Structure 1
Amino acid sequence: MPSTDFQESSSSPSSFNLSILSRRRDQVHSMDSPPLESNGQQSDLEAFQRTVAERFQDLAAAPSEELLSIPWIRKLLDTFLCVHEEFRLIVFNHKSSLAKPPMDKYITDFFERSVKALDVCNAIRDGIEQIRHWQKQLEIVLCALDNQRSIGEGQFRRAKKALIDLTIAMLDERDSNTTVSHRNRSFGRQSNSRAEPRSMANFRSLSWSVSRTWSAARQLQAISSNLAPPRGNEISATNGLNVGVFTMSYVLLFVMWALVAAIPCQDRGLPTHLFTRQFAWAAPIGSLYERIMEESKRRDRRNTCGLMREIYEIEKCVRLMNELTDCVEFPLTEERERQVKQRVQEIGKIYEAIKEGLDPLERLVREVFRRIVRSRTEGLDSIARANLQD
C-alpha cells in the first residue's frame, strides 16, 4: 500500500481536516434529520478524534533512528494510555446510550477485542524477559573485557563463550517464530526451522505465560476481525458514538501490531491490508505503518526476531565482535587490542540502553494490561446498571 494513500491535505495537528464524524454530522443536518443527542456528546467525540490525531502525529514525527527504539515504544504506550483514558470517560459519561441497540453490540465487540489484547501483552512481557537473558550475556562480555589494562587469553575465552551463547539464543528465537505456522505474513521467516534445543524448550515451558501453540499473528487477526469503518446510517443511528468505539478499536489494533513487530514473540506477523485512511488520525498511523513495514523489509532486518532498535544494535555488535574474535591471536597487538576495546565500548552503550529502558517498558506494558482489565470491568458494570435503570 503506497504511503501517498495516507496523505492528508494538512501538515500539522492543528490544521487536520474535520473528522468523518463531523462531516457525517453536517450531512445529516443538511438532510433535515434530527440533530445528535447532545452538543456535549458531540464535543466529547470530536475532542477524542483530535487527541488521537495529535498524539499519533507526534509519534510519526520521530526520525528513523528513534523509530521502534525503547524510548519510542514507551511513548507509544503512553499515547495508548492517554487515548484509552479519554475513551473510558466517554464510555462512563454516555453509558445510557451505549447500553441501547445497536451501540451495545459495538461496545461489546470492543471489550472482546480488549480481552484478546491481554494475551498480546503477556506475550510481549515474555519477549522483554527474553531480551533480559540476552542482556546478561552482554554483561558477561563487559565484565571480561571492559576496563581492563590488558586483555588476557582467559578473559577473551570467557567473552567469546558469552557471545556464542548469545548468538545461539537469538537464532533460536528467530526459528521459534516459524514453529507455529508457515503461512504468508509480514514478519518472521518462512523457512523450515531446526529442532529446538532442550535448554531453550525448558526455558519456554517454565517462563512463558502463553501456550507454545499460541500465535501472535492469529491473535492480531482476531482483534482485527470485522473491524470496519462505520457507515453514515450507522453513525446516525448511534449518534456518532460508534465512531469513537471504532477509533479506540483501531488504536488498540495498531498498538498491539507495533508491539508484535518490535518485540520477540511467537509467530509474529499480520496481513498488510487492514489499515484505513478515512479519518484525520489515519494519516499519521498510516505513515507509521508504512515505515515499520519498510523497516521489516530491509535486508539486515528481514530475519530478525524483533524490529526493536536495540535488538538490531545487539545483533550488529555481536556480529562485528564475533568477526573480530575469530581472527585474534595472542598476545594481542596494540592495534588489535584497540579494535577490541572499541567494540566493547559499543556493546557497553547498547547494554546501558537496555538496562535503563527495559524495566520502565515492562511497567508500561503491565499498566496497559491493568487499564484494559479495569476499563472493561467498569464499562460492563456501568452498562449493566444503565440497563437496570431503564
Structure 2
Amino acid sequence: MPATDYQGSSAPFSSLGRSILSIRRDQVHAMEGNQDGNSIHEQELESFQKQIADQFHDLAAVSGEELLSLSWIQKLLNAFLCCQEEFKVILFNNKQNLSKPPLDRLIAEFFERSVKALDVCNAIRDGIEQIRQWQKQLEIVLCALDSHHRTLGEGQFRRAKKALTDLAIGMLDEKEACSVIAHRNRSFGRNNTSKDHRPPGHYRSLSWSVSRSWSAAKQIQAIGNNLTPPRNNEIAASGGLVVPIYTMNSVLMFVMWALVAAIPCQDRGLQMHFSVPRQFSWAASILSLHERIVEESKKRERKNSSGLLKEIHQIEKSARHMTELADTIHFPLTEEREVEVKQGVEELAQLCDAMKSGLDPLERQVREVFHRIVRSRTEGLDSFGKSNNPE
C-alpha cells in the first residue's frame, strides 16, 4: 500500500492548516533587511497552491456526464502542464537551496516518480491507439450499413456483425479474448480455424511500447510509495519549499492514476490508497475527483470495462445495441426496422466523429506531458548539479 497516510509527526496535523506564509514568517521573524525578498518568496509559494486549487476546483465542478470524457481528460492534462510549469519556476528561483536537506532527498524522489510517470504515458498512448482500432471496427459497421445508395441486404449485415463481433472481442482483456477466439474457432469449424486463430496479444497495439510484464497498477503504487505530507519542521527548515514538492508529487500521482482509470492499459487495477490532508487548499477537489472516479468504476455496467473513458462506454452501448438489432433482423426489412437501423447508424456516426476529433489532440497532449517531464527533469538535474558544484 502506498505510504500516502501521514505517519509519525512530532506535531498534530491541524497545525498544517497555518498558511505557508505564517510558517515562513515565524522562521524569519528575527531577520532584518530581507523583508522584500521573503515577501516575494511567500507570495510565490502561496500563488502556486492557489493555482493548483483553482485548476482542480474547475476539474471537480463538472457534471457526471463530462467527468472522464475525452474533453475532461484533455483539461486534466492541460492543468497538469500548467502546474508543472509553475513548479519548474519555483525550483529555478530556489535552485541554490535544492542541495540542502531535506530538499535534496525530496527533489531526487520527485524526479524518480517522474521517470515512472513516463512509462504510464507510453502505456496511455498505446491505449489511445487501441481505441483507434475499435473506432475502425465501428467505421466498418457504418460502411456496411450505409443505406444512402443501396438497399440493405443479408451480406451487409453479415459484414457489420463480423465487425461488431471483432470489436466485442477487442474490448475484452487478453485472457478473455483468447478464450472467446478459441470458442469461435470450435464453433466455426475447421475451415475457419486459420482465419480466427490469432496469437495472444493480437488485439494489442502494433506499437505496444511497454513489456508484457509491466503493470499499470504497480506503476501507480510505485509513484505513490513513501509519499508523505511534509512535517512542520521540514516546512520551516526548507523555507516552505517542501510544500510545493509534496503538492506536485500528489498532482503527478493523481493525474497518472486518472489516466490509467480512463484509458485501456495493462493491469489497470484502480485500488490506489489516496490520502492527503484536507488542510491543503487543493485537497478537497482532488479527493472528491478520486472518490467519484472510484464510484464510477464500481457501477455494474463499468466493472468489466477496459477503461472508464465515457466514449468507451458509448462504444460498448452502441455496439451492443447494433448487435442485438442485427441478430433480430429478418429480410426483407420492414420500414420500422429500417428506421431503427438508420437511427443506430447515425448514433455510431456521431460517436466516430467525436472520437476522430478527440483522440488526436489527446495523444498530442500525452506526448507533450511526456516530453515536458523529460525536459523538466533534465533541466532540474542540471540545475541541481550546478548548485552542488558552484564554479
- Give the TM-score of the pair, scaled to structure 1: 0.86
C-alpha contact 2:69 2:310 (8 A) present in aligned 1? yes
Deviations for 1:293-340, whole angstroms, at most 9, x for unmatched residues? Answer: 111011111110000000000000011111111111111111111111
1:273 aligns with 2:269: no
1:300 match: secondary structure: helix
Deviations for 1:66-91, whole angstroms, at most 9, x for unmatched residues? Answer: 11000110010000000000001111
State the Cα distance separating 1:114 from its structure 2 match.
Answer: 0.1
When the two chains are superposed, the root-mean-square deviation of aligned CA atoms in Å is: 2.3
Amino acid corresponding to residue 144 of structure 1 in structure 2: A
2:300 match: secondary structure: coil
- Partners of 1:21 and 1:165 in 2: how far apart? 54
C-alpha contact 1:174 1:303 (8 A) present in aligned 2? no
Match of 1:50 in 2: 50
Amino acid corresponding to residue 385 of structure 1 in structure 2: K
State the Cα distance separating 1:354 from its structure 2 match.
Answer: 0.6
Match of 1:191 in 2: none
After the TM superposition, which of the residue ranges 310-319 and 147-156 deviates more from structure 2? 147-156
Match of 1:111 in 2: 111
Deviations for 1:29-77, whole angstroms, at most 9, x for unmatched residues? Answer: 5588657982222211110000000000011111111110001100100
State the Cα distance separating 1:252 from its structure 2 match.
Answer: 0.2
State the Cα distance separating 1:152 from its structure 2 match.
Answer: 1.8
Match of 1:387 in 2: 388
- Partners of 1:31 and 1:77 in 2: how far apart? 36
Amino acid corresponding to residue 22 of structure 2 in structure 1: D
- Partners of 1:170 and 1:223 in 2: how far apart? 27
Deviations for 1:339-369, whole angstroms, at most 9, x for unmatched residues? Answer: 1111111111111111111000000000000
- Partners of 1:67 and 1:321 in 2: how far apart? 26
Match of 1:169 in 2: 170
State the Cα distance separating 1:102 from its structure 2 match.
Answer: 1.8
C-alpha contact 2:125 2:363 (8 A) present in aligned 1? yes
After the TM superposition, which of the residue ranges 110-119 and 263-272 deviates more from structure 2? 263-272
Match of 1:340 in 2: 341
Counterpart of 2:22 (choices 18, 22, 26) is 26
- Partners of 1:53 and 1:237 in 2: how far apart? 25
Match of 1:259 in 2: 259
1:211 match: secondary structure: coil
Amino acid corresponding to residue 336 of structure 2 in structure 1: E
Structure 2 segments unaligned to the other structure (5+ residues): 1-14, 178-195
1:123 aligns with 2:123: yes
Amino acid corresponding to residue 240 of structure 1 in structure 2: G
Match of 2:161 in 1: 160
Match of 1:183 in 2: none
Structure 1 pair 23–380 and aligned structure 2 pair: CA distance change class (3 A): same
- Partners of 1:233 and 1:197 in 2: how far apart? 63
Structure 1 pair 68–47 and aligned structure 2 pair: CA distance change class (3 A): same
State the Cα distance separating 1:93 from its structure 2 match.
Answer: 1.0
Deviations for 1:177-231, whole angstroms, at most 9, x for unmatched residues? Answer: xxxxxxxxxxxxxxxxxxx973452454842100001000100000000101101
1:230 aligns with 2:248: no
Amino acid corresponding to residue 365 of structure 1 in structure 2: V
After the TM superposition, which of the residue ranges 27-36 and 41-50 deviates more from structure 2? 27-36
Structure 1 pair 279–386 and aligned structure 2 pair: CA distance change class (3 A): same
Deviations for 1:1-41, whole angstroms, at most 9, x for unmatched residues? Answer: xxxxxxxxxxxxxxxxxx94753542565588657982222
Deviations for 1:208-263, whole angstroms, at most 9, x for unmatched residues? Answer: 10000100010000000010110111100111101000000000000000000000
State the Cα distance separating 1:147 from its structure 2 match.
Answer: 4.5
State the Cα distance separating 1:99 from its structure 2 match.
Answer: 2.0
2:162 match: secondary structure: helix
- Partners of 2:172 and 2:108 in 1: how far apart? 41
State the Cα distance separating 1:128 from its structure 2 match.
Answer: 0.3
Match of 2:321 in 1: 320
- Partners of 2:61 and 2:174 in 1: how far apart? 31
Amino acid corresponding to residue 293 of structure 2 in structure 1: I
Match of 1:101 in 2: 101
Structure 1 pair 147–357 and aligned structure 2 pair: CA distance change class (3 A): farther
Structure 1 pair 244–171 and aligned structure 2 pair: CA distance change class (3 A): same
Deviations for 1:83-109, whole angstroms, at most 9, x for unmatched residues? Answer: 000001111111111122221111110
Match of 1:291 in 2: 292
C-alpha contact 1:138 1:351 (8 A) present in aligned 2? yes
Match of 1:185 in 2: none
- Partners of 1:374 and 1:21 in 2: how far apart? 34
Match of 1:282 in 2: 283
C-alpha contact 2:173 2:306 (8 A) present in aligned 1? no
**What is the number of residues matched between the two proteins?**
354
C-alpha contact 1:59 1:76 (8 A) present in aligned 2? yes
* 1:82-101 equivalence runs, <5 A: 82-101=82-101
Match of 1:240 in 2: 240
1:308 aligns with 2:309: yes
* 1:73-88 equivalence runs, <5 A: 73-88=73-88
C-alpha contact 2:17 2:279 (8 A) present in aligned 1? no
- Partners of 2:78 and 2:176 in 1: how far apart? 31
- Partners of 1:294 and 1:120 in 2: how far apart? 22
Structure 1 segments unaligned to the other structure (5+ residues): 1-18, 177-195
Amino acid corresponding to residue 364 of structure 1 in structure 2: Q
C-alpha contact 1:52 1:83 (8 A) present in aligned 2? yes
Structure 1 pair 91–154 and aligned structure 2 pair: CA distance change class (3 A): same
